[in-house]
A and B are shown apart, each in its own frame.
Chain A
Amino acid sequence: MKLNEKIKGKYLELKKAGKNEDFIENNLKIFINKAPKNILVKFQIEKDVVYIGN
Chain B
Amino acid sequence: MEKTFKPEHIKRLINSKEESKIEECILKVELNTEPIGEGGNAIIYIPENESLQNVCIKKTKDKPQIMCNSIDEEHSLQEKAKNAGIRTPTTYLSFINKNDGKEYFLMERINGYSVKDIVKDEGLMPKNFEYEKFCESLDDQINKLHNINGIMGGIYHRDLHIGNVMIDENGLAVIIDFGTAIESSGGEFTYEESTEMWDNKKGRYQFVNGFFKDDLEMVKLIKTEVKKFANLKY
B residues touching A (Cβ–Cβ < 8 Å)? 15, 19-20, 22-30, 47, 49, 51-52, 54-55, 72, 75-76, 79, 83, 90-96, 106, 108
Contacts and interface: CB of A to CB of B under 8 A. Distances in A.
Contacts of B79: 4-5
A43 interface: yes
Contacts of B24: 1, 3, 43-45
B179 to A, nearest CB: 15
B75 A38 contact: no
A1 B94 contact: yes
Given A4-B79, A40-B106, A54-B52, A24 B92 contact: yes
A43 to B, nearest CB: 5
Contact of A4 (B52, B54, B92): B92
Contacts of A8: 20, 22
A39 to B, nearest CB: 6
B27 A7 contact: no
Contacts of A32: none
A11 B93 CA distance: 13
Interface residues of A, number: 27
Nearest to B91: A4
Given A2-B72, A52-B92, A43 B49 contact: no
A41 B29 contact: yes
B26 A43 contact: yes
Nearest to A28: B55
Contacts of A49: 27
A27 B49 CA distance: 13
B27 to A, nearest CB: 4
A26 B23 CA distance: 27
15 contacts: A1-B93, A2-B94, A2-B95, A3-B93, A4-B75, A4-B90, A27-B51, A39-B30, A40-B106, A41-B26, A41-B30, A41-B93, A43-B28, A49-B27, A54-B52
A45 B22 contact: yes
Q: Taking each of B29, B55, B91, B108, which has the highest tally of chain A beta carbons within 10 Å of its own beta carbon?
A: B55
Contacts of B29: 40-42
Contacts of B92: 3-4, 6-7, 24, 28, 52
B80 to A, nearest CB: 10
A26 B76 contact: no
Q: Taking each of B27, B91, B92, B108, which has the highest tally of chain A beta carbons within 10 Å of its own beta carbon?
A: B92
B95 A38 contact: no
